[in-house]
Amino acid sequence: MKPEKIPFDPARRQVMAILNVTPDSFYAESRMPDADAVERRVREAVAAGASVIDVGGYSSRPGADEVSPEEEWRRVERGVGAVRRLAPAMPVSVDTFRSEIVTRTVERFGEVIVNDISAGELDARMVPTVARLGLRYIAMHMKGDPKTMQSRTDYRRDIVTEVVDYFRVRCRRLEEAGIARERIILDPGFGFAKTLEQNYELLAGLHALCDLGYPVLAGLSRKSMIYRLLDVAPADSLAGTVALDWECLRQGASILRVHDVREAVDTVRLFEAFDRARQTRQTNL
């Protein structure tokens, strides 16, 4: 008898564990180049309390090398296969901008969540594929692609306004293409086509994105906006990640995409206790 799948509720605060089946992700400790490392990561993420595991086979760090579709599929198949085998009830998302990877994953493993760094801009077949399969869709803001994005940090207006306006238009097109509104999740794309200063401007205005009414995913775990500002290595960026994750929750984000699952789960639990106390106090005033 198959275990009942854990429901994925993007409106509930939760933690998405990063599973990089890659040899070149920016944070060395997150690289899972072989089957044993992948399985170890899955077990650790489940034990630490992850709500969903995000499998990626194509590093999206700035300047990342091109990965062929076949190689990306080989990595994604290994990662999703490990989750399905070791934690069959666990929701899985696939971090890809290629529709063929989505199709092959669904054919092989069944329903998954699609986590697309390009919001469908890099593959014209992505949005129709997601709509046809009825999948949840995480749309991220980025300009260009991983090789070119850091040369495309010019914005005509302030970055918060541009990102929010982008998603107003993009979400309307996603819905017109057949993706149900309740299946769309937004990711502001911290670190993607943004300077260090722009990342913090975007963080300061994250509530404006949350006000659009879609669940918001915050993915800033150990990113350069933390370690460059603090003049440390990604390996020394955990405290900064926790601090900024709290701020994302405070402004309304519901999903934290992280390398360090236990710490993020604790952050969510602490924030929810604080939020309950705050609401009680406001009610009693």
Which pLDDT score, from 0 to 100, does residue 8 have?
87
Total domains present in the chain: 1
- Predicted local distance difference test score (pLDDT) of residue 48: 97
Confidence of residue 17 (pLDDT cuts 50, 70, 90): very high
pLDDT of residue 65: 72
Q: Is 257 a catalytic residue?
A: yes
Instruction: Categorize the per-residue pLDDT at 144 as very low, low, confident or very high, splitting at 50, 70 and 90.
Output: confident
In a domain, 2, yes or no: no
The answer as to whether 6 is a domain residue is no
Q: How many Å apart are CA 236 and CA 111, to the nearest integer? A: 36
Inter-residue contact 68 to 31 (CB < 8 Å): no
143: Cβ contacts below 8 Å, ≥ 6 apart: 149, 152, 192, 193
Residue 145 has pLDDT above 80, yes or no: no
**Between residues 60 and 232, the one the model is more confident about:** 232
Q: What was the pLDDT predicted at 50?
A: 97
The CATH number of whichever domain residue 150 belongs to comes to 3.20.20.20
Average predicted confidence (pLDDT) for the chain:
92
Q: Tell me, yes or no, whether 84 lies in a domain.
A: yes
Is 237 contained in some domain?
yes
| Mean pLDDT confidence for 141-153 | 79
Q: Where residue 66 falls among pLDDT bands split at 50, 70, 90?
A: confident
Q: Is residue 4 part of a domain?
A: no
pLDDT at position 63 is: 62
**Which residue is catalytic, options 104, 183, 223, 278?**
223
Instruction: Reduce the DSSP state of residue 244 to 3 states and report it.
Output: helix
The span from the CA of 61 to the CA of 219, in Å, is 13
**What range defines the domain where residue 272 resides?**
14-284
pLDDT tens digits, residue range 155-206? 888 999 999 999 999 999 999 999 999 999 999 999 999 999 999 999 999 9
- Whether 8 maps to a domain, the answer reads no
State the maximum Cα–Cα separation within the chain, in Å, rounded to a whole number. Answer: 60
Flag whether 5 is in a domain.
Answer: no
Q: Is 269 helix (H, G, I), strand (E, B) or coil?
A: helix
pLDDT in the model for residue 148: 73
* pLDDT score of 25 more than 80: no
Q: Which of the residues 257, 262, 269, 281 is marked catalytic?
A: 257
Contacts of 246 (CB under 8 A, 6+ apart): 267, 271
For residue 121, being part of any structural domain is answered with yes
